[in-house]
Chain A
Amino acid sequence: MRNKYSVFSLIKNALSNHENWQRAWKDPTPKKEYDAVIVGGGGHGLATAYYLAKKHNMNNIAVVEKGWIGGGNTGRNTTIIRSNYLWDASAGLYDHALKIWEGLSQELNYNVMFSQRGVMNLAHNLQDVRDLKRRTHANRLNGIDAVYLSTEEVKKFCPIINTSPDIRYPVLGGTLQRRAGTARHDAVAWGYARGADGMGVDIIQNCEVKGIKRNGDSVEGIETTKGFIKTKKIGVVAAGHSSVIANMAGLRLPLESKPLQALVSEPVKPIIDTVVMSNAVHAYVSQSDKGELVIGAGTDDYVSYTQKGSHQIVEGTLNAILELYPIFSRMRMLRQWGGIVDICPDASPILSKTSIKGLYFNCGWGTGGFKATPGSGDLFAHTIANDQPHKLNAAFNLNRFVSGDLVDEHGAAAVAH
């Protein structure tokens, strides 16, 4: 059982120089058999395990992770959380996640530093204006808060934006979702890991999956670098490596894995108290609690698993940032990195059963999976436990690529993919 974090535990541990804090999660050796195994110990995988244990009483389960907790895309994204998606299916999925975010720190007894500082999306041409107005209406019909802002209102909400009509892509307006914001990304993984571990889930790090054993149309277990693990249910949440894992089971997916880059600047005093995204020029920026500007760039157009992207992608993003925020012209960037994102043809995720019994996939989140972490885990746990999807993720099945019933969020989801 986990000790509860509170002001009393803080005082108690302060008296012993913080040397006796309980481990946040154990370091178990894998058992021979589990009721279910989750492949991938990122935010989505750990959330899946957490909700399997909490809501579906599946406590004899494990999460196997190739590297370490929080070392993959969970620790590489730009931490933006929002739910202002155009289509009903996406709005349902992402707003489900946003509602869980609102109480997550209390639920996990772990401060994920969720901050509803608002997310503003900018329009730079007439088509942007029409699209954003349409999306604002669609959001409000789905019960998601959204307002359309004029250029003056954009300037008022974020005064450092250059709203001069003379710039290459002038700001013609924008939308604002006030409930949206950011959270500390690795704290989300740690909080879910600690919560799942407290309910008996084995979190096995440095354990790479090498093969999936099948018996006809059902799964029997996984080969790992720590030996064979028998299980009847496998939930794969492997992000950029989903196609690699699928290949082990003889399954092929509609995914392409590409590098997505982000960068942070040197820390400075508070200058931007919201998140601003621009679809047309592909630049988004927020400020971390440490004071760094957190900047998201785009994906490269070729398949790569190298976790580094092309320099010109970063250059293009910074050009756009400098035009929109001339005040940043002398900022120095501290770090730049890449993560491998798995992109679906319709830029929507897959949370689905497969043609193989007991094999489930949660993938295809592309460039925007972090915001969905709690909802994705909750719905994927439901899908695995009941062997059928929840109504909120029914549309995100693998069969949509055969039926043609796509959830086409390309360009409609307030950000370029």
Chain B
Amino acid sequence: MFLINCPYCGERDQQEFKAGGEAHIERPKQPTELSDDEWAEYLFIRKNIKGVQFERWNHAHGCRKWFNMVRDTSNDEIREIYKMGEKPPSQ
């Protein structure tokens, strides 16, 4: 269990939040032209990093807004939090 600093509400308990998986996976601009391999990459393949990973989170039991998080998955330490649409910080 850890605390998450929602960019809209401030620090709250992690159980108020829903993890939304890997961040910055862009939806294909031309879905009709995608090969099966590219669809598999978009839909299923994940980095699943042991270490610093970029993620999306949702304050599901709070303001219900989405935001991004940089988190170390080897020790659950949150490095940075930034809003949707903002450029990911360089790590």
Could you list which residues of chain A lie within 8 angstroms of chain B, going by C-beta atoms?
241, 243-244, 252-257, 300-306, 310-312, 342, 345, 401-404
Known interface pairs A306-B76, A310-B14, A312-B1; A254-B19 also in contact (CB < 8 Å): no
Once the chains are docked, how many angstroms separate the CA of A241 from the CA of B51?
Answer: 12
Tell me which of B21, B48, B55 has the highest count of chain A C-beta atoms within 10 A of its own C-beta: B48
Quote the shortest CB–CB distance from B78 to chain A (angstroms): 11
Q: What are 28 pairs between A and B in contact, CB < 8 Å?
A: A243-B48, A252-B45, A253-B45, A253-B46, A253-B48, A254-B44, A254-B45, A256-B21, A257-B50, A301-B18, A302-B55, A303-B21, A303-B48, A303-B73, A304-B76, A305-B50, A305-B73, A305-B74, A306-B74, A306-B76, A342-B48, A345-B44, A401-B43, A401-B45, A402-B36, A402-B37, A403-B36, A404-B36
Quote the shortest CB–CB distance from A410 to chain B (angstroms): 13
Quote the shortest CB–CB distance from A366 to chain B (angstroms): 13
Interface size of B by CB at 8 A reads 26
Is the CB–CB distance between A256 and B46 below 8 Å?
Answer: yes
Once the chains are docked, how many angstroms separate the CA of A257 from the CA of B49?
Answer: 9
Is the CB–CB distance between A303 and B53 below 8 Å?
Answer: yes
Once the chains are docked, how many angstroms separate the CA of A255 from the CA of B21?
Answer: 11
Is the CB–CB distance between B45 and A244 below 8 Å?
Answer: no
Chain A interface, >50% SS class: loop
Contact residues of B between 24 and 53, Cβ < 8 Å to A = 36-37, 39-41, 43-50, 53
- Across the interface, B48 reaches (CB within 8 A) one of A257, A300, A404, namely A257
The residue of chain B having its C-beta at the shortest distance from the C-beta of A403 within the complex is: B36
The residue of chain B having its C-beta at the shortest distance from the C-beta of A303 within the complex is: B73
Given A243-B49, A252-B46: 11 more A-B contacts, CB < 8 Å: A253-B48, A255-B46, A255-B48, A302-B55, A302-B71, A306-B73, A306-B74, A306-B76, A310-B15, A401-B45, A404-B36
Indicate whether B90 reaches chain A with its CB closer than 8 angstroms. Answer: no
Cβ proximity bits B1-23 to A, threshold 8 Å, 1 near / 0 not:
10000000000001100110100
The residue of chain A having its C-beta at the shortest distance from the C-beta of B14 within the complex is: A310
6 closest pairs, A vs B, by CB? Answer: A302-B19, A254-B44, A243-B48, A402-B40, A301-B19, A312-B15
Quote the shortest CB–CB distance from A354 to chain B (angstroms): 13
With a cutoff of 8 Å between Cβ atoms, the chain B residues found around residue A303 in the complex are: 19, 21, 48-49, 53, 55, 73
- Across the interface, A256 reaches (CB within 8 A) one of B14, B48, B71, B76, namely B48
Indicate whether B91 reaches chain A with its CB closer than 8 angstroms. Answer: no
Known interface pairs A252-B47, A256-B21; A304-B1 also in contact (CB < 8 Å): no
The residue of chain B having its C-beta at the shortest distance from the C-beta of A312 within the complex is: B15
With a cutoff of 8 Å between Cβ atoms, the chain A residues found around residue B46 in the complex are: 243, 252-256
Once the chains are docked, how many angstroms separate the CA of A305 from the CA of B43?
Answer: 23
